[in-house]
Amino acid sequence: MKVKTIAIIGNGPEWYPDFSSLRNTVDFWIGADRGALSVIKHRLQLEYAVGDFDSTTDEEKATIISYANYFNEYPSDKDETDLEIALNKAFELEPDIIYLIGVTGGRMDHELINIQLLYEIARKGIKGIILDKTNYIELTFAGEYSIEYDDTYPNISFVPFSHEVKGLTLSNFYYPLMDATVTWGSTLCISNKLIGNSGTFSYNEGILLLIKSRDTIPR
């Protein structure tokens, strides 16, 4: 069965990853508010445009309407952010993977809550990933995972999302780990690297953020 993949582009700063690797893998592109213009700018097929569009001009909104297969405008006074509205639309499509793009940088309150949205994605059994020029962020639950070397994001860190992560084991890493407990505020698992092309990480209890990153901005 083909994996169904959705990408949502938010209204954050244009700190975008290379779209070339996503063009042939993403089935539906969703634009949240002004993020819809970024979908159009990068010549991607805009399936849904949702949000209050308070950050667009009338001319820009008309452009979005003309490109989007579906356009849904919401009042500016609402309980959800535009990104959460886009995410709920993505859930309706029952995807296997959701990418969040244009959701980092800028306002820290937005960035932090957008990272927390990965929990809402993961608890529905969907793989959620935040991508930008220098970071890949994925939230995981207890289990065992394989990880491949990626020269776009060569640095690998593990950050506890729950207060404690128990039984963390890192295999085939430059700094290996065996059955460790990692808590909030610990820097034990920051800035590691794989030895060779692949490795594994596993843990028994807790919730863990996998963050792959790079130090320089690709040109």
State the pTM of this model: 0.93
Residues of the chain with CATH 3.40.50.10240: 5-133, 138-213
The number of beta carbons lying within 10 Å of the beta carbon of residue 70 is: 11
Query: Region 164-179: what's the mean pLDDT?
Result: 97
Kindly indicate the confidence band of residue 217, based on its pLDDT and cuts at 50, 70 and 90. Answer: low
Kindly indicate the confidence band of residue 196, based on its pLDDT and cuts at 50, 70 and 90. Answer: very high
Tokens of 98: 């959701």
What mean pLDDT value characterizes the chain?
A: 93
Task: Report how far residue 18's alpha carbon sits from residue 218's, in angstroms, rounded to the nearest whole number.
Answer: 9
pLDDT above 60: residue 218:
no
Q: Which residues are 79's β-sheet partners?
A: none
Please return the burial class of 37, using the count of CB atoms within 10 Å of its CB with bins 0-12, 13-18 and 19+.
buried
Query: Region 93-117: what's the mean pLDDT?
Result: 93
Domain spanning 5-133, CATH class: alpha beta
pLDDT above 80: residue 219:
no
The pLDDT assigned to 1 comes to 65
pLDDT tens, position by position, 48-82: 999 999 889 999 999 999 999 999 999 887 878 89
Pick the CATH number of 138-213 from 3.10.105.10, 3.10.580.10, 3.40.50.10240, 3.40.50.300: 3.40.50.10240
pLDDT > 70: what percent of the chain? 98
pLDDT above 80: residue 2:
no
129 in Cβ contact with 209 (< 8 Å): no
HSE value, Cβ hemisphere, 13 Å, CA-based, for 117: 28
Among residues 198, 200, 193, 147, the alpha carbon closest in space to that of 174 is found at: 193
